[in-house]
Structure 1
Amino acid sequence: MTDQQPIDHSFCVAPMLDWTDRHCRYFYRLITQHALLYTEMVTTGAILHGNRERMLQFNQEEHPVAFQLGGSNPTELAECAKIVEQYGYDEINLNVGCPSDRVQNGRFGACLMARPELVGECVAAMQRTVNVPVTVKSRIGIDEQDSYEELIRFIGIVADSGCRTFIVHARKAWLQGLSPKENREIPPLRYDVVMQLKQDFPQLEIVLNGGITTLDQARDYLRRMDGVMLGREVYHNPYILAEVDQRLFGVQQWPVSRHDVAMALIPYIQRQLKQGERLNNISRHILGLFHGVAGARAWRRYISEHAHKPGADENVILQALSFTG
């Protein structure tokens, strides 16, 4: 492979299944130009045997954007990585953190933390195939395999395969007994563990994920980590992205207003509707745009009640906008 172009992981928006689709990412890009965006996780089987165009197409405005793959077969992952690269994504991320039953049944996700040699083989196979960076997103441990010694063994083996960037969710995962939602909330956050990783592997890029809800927190952790990743907070309160470029990337500009974001989305909605998309597939991602300000409830209610109706178009958004301050 050729030399990889560096990607800035200072602030990332997490891959979120059923949430961070191309419409969601286009919307986020209207608010921040510099945050690194991630796709939902897509399995190797879905790419090799499913509707590839539907799963891989994205808007060029989304760059920089990374694609998250789920799988555990090095040959299949390498094949899919090459396909993903051909579509133009900036990074390929291997999911070694999702604890859902569906993922475990496919023998990938968080259960792979118990097989660091296999993860290393997967990473190496993908890196031999593509010129974009291959990164790994993991937990700090699984089940009873949660000692720091086991974690550094995992990181060390995968790093030896050529992975330079690890996004680490600062919770362990219980593969049995907890739902994916509970696995995001019940296991305690251990930021100290992830920070220790950075000290012990200074040559690696370590990105902190899990439980961060404000840009003040993000900026504080960036003093000790290479990057931070936010997920649910961004989805429920997307306007948190408005100050990311200014506060975390040093861009000297005023944040775009909520009203301007909504108006900037209108031409995109019009184009998508002409291509046969339904309004509610786009509008569901923008319900939190006015979170915490006057008119937020009326905005959400009007869109929720009207966007799913046959023939719903951009006028639903414009009418909802009239309820805001």
Structure 2
Amino acid sequence: MPTSLDRLSPWRACVAPMLDWTDRHCRYFHRLLSPHARLYTEMLTTGALVHGNMTRFLDYSEQEHPVALQLGGSEPADLAHCAKLAQQWGYDEVNLNCGCPSERVQRGAFGACLMSEASLVADCVKAMIDAVGGDPAVPITVKHRIGIDQIERYDFVRDFVGTVADAGCRVFIVHARNAWLKGLSPKENREIPPLRYEFVHRLKRDFPAFTIVLNGGLADNAACVEQLRPGADGVALDGVMVGRAAYHTPWMMAEWAALLFGDEQTSAGLTREGVEAAMVDYMQCEVDRTRGWEHGEVRWPQVARHMLGLYNGLPGARYWRQVWSDHKLKDLPAAEVFRLAHQRPEKRVEQAMA
């Protein structure tokens, strides 16, 4: 029997791909907080997958599903090869990056600069769809901006979406800012170009059959709820994608089950300390699993760095972060660091002086 969850878009709430942040350890942590969120890998270039250590880049935990692989590239054949790899590894989606404005990415002729070559993006999308045999379990999606540089006309992004849709793409994740390809850093590109949420909502009205997800500037859950409300015409976006807010204040994701999915039971008993304890178990499992690995063992600080915002805004959060960030403790078992992090600060000082 269908439930309310079945009627919602699989892209209802997403955590954005973030370079150096959304690795497999981060995604495992985020999954503990939100059972329904769609999680994305860091952007992986086709060159890294074709010529690098495939297992190192593609390995993930089964608990992460649904998880999407984001690719950076502009050669249809290479993207097709990587999409096939994603299918073989069991990823739930392959996403093409057409939104990153960094100069390094531009030198590789991909990212946001691809928005000026909609026909090439369409060729890339078609090659990837063909590579996975049109498998509905591995949708090929595109993440892009609303414009580039001084092109601020709505018809630019409308025509981009229309061209790419002709190749078979049906899911568009739209960062509601222009990308300025010269003169701004990636950080400034997330802050200086103005947000134009109305462009994203207009896309949904013009392409009602497509999945349209809004990204950019969503700092809290109230902003997410606001963007998901139907407009005066009754048309609503299919989802939101949150980036740095989810990373720095991860407990906001603990509210998504009830707030965004209408699922009040799944996370009813969720607690910060319970999530932290589960992460400690995961850290030990990863240390044991990778011991002696040729390509590098996992040490618990590599994992713990992703959960440092777990207690943000609560009394004692600063001390807790200091303990988990203390490099002098890196050789202790994670369970012992967990114990120290929840010990009263004055008690730890007494023990150190004894």
TM-score bin (small chain): over 0.9
Q: In the alignment, which residue of structure 1 is the partner of 2:205?
A: 199
Q: In the alignment, which residue of structure 1 is the partner of 2:312?
A: 291
Structure 1 distance, partners of 2:62, 2:94, is 16
Structure 2 distance, partners of 1:25, 1:248, is 19
Conservation of the 8 A alpha-carbon contact between 1:280 and 1:308? no
Conservation of the 8 A alpha-carbon contact between 2:250 and 2:309? yes
Q: Could you tell me how far 1:203 is from its partner in structure 2?
A: 1.4
**Residues 1-38 of structure 1: CA distance to partner in whole angstroms, max 9, x if unpaired?**
xxxxx960000000000000000000011111001000
Residue 142 of structure 2 aligns with an amino acid whose one-letter code is V
- 2:238 aligned to which of 200, 205, 226: 226
Report matched runs for 1:156-175 at 5 Å.
156-175=162-181
Q: In the alignment, which residue of structure 2 is the partner of 1:273?
A: 287
| 1:156/1:308 CA distance change after superposition, 3 Å | farther
Structure 2 distance, partners of 1:323, 1:159, is 57
Residue 16 of structure 1 aligns with an amino acid whose one-letter code is M
Provide the secondary structure at the position in 2 that maps to 1:288.
coil
Larger Rg: 2
- The sequence identity of aligned pairs, in percent, is 54
- Tell me how large the CA RMSD over aligned residues is: 1.5
Q: In the alignment, which residue of structure 2 is the partner of 1:309?
A: 330
Conservation of the 8 A alpha-carbon contact between 1:280 and 1:307? no
Structure 2 distance, partners of 1:115, 1:256, is 46
Residue 141 of structure 1 aligns with an amino acid whose one-letter code is G
Q: Could you tell me how far 1:313 is from its partner in structure 2?
A: 3.2
Structure 1 distance, partners of 2:329, 2:60, is 23
Residue 147 of structure 2 aligns with an amino acid whose one-letter code is G
Structure 2 distance, partners of 1:77, 1:7, is 26
- 2:277 aligned to which of 259, 263, 278: 263
Conservation of the 8 A alpha-carbon contact between 1:237 and 1:288? yes
| 1:212/1:307 CA distance change after superposition, 3 Å | farther
Gaps of 5+ in 1: 1-5
- 2:251 aligned to which of 230, 239, 257: 239
What is the aligned length? 319
- 1:87 aligned to which of 86, 89, 106: 89
Conservation of the 8 A alpha-carbon contact between 1:273 and 1:313? no
Structure 2 distance, partners of 1:7, 1:128, is 24
- 1:249 aligned to which of 237, 243, 261: 261
Residue 216 of structure 1 aligns with an amino acid whose one-letter code is A
**Residues 140-182 of structure 1: CA distance to partner in whole angstroms, max 9, x if unpaired?**
0001233111111111000111000000000001001000000
Structure 1 distance, partners of 2:152, 2:60, is 37
- 1:52 aligned to which of 34, 51, 54: 54
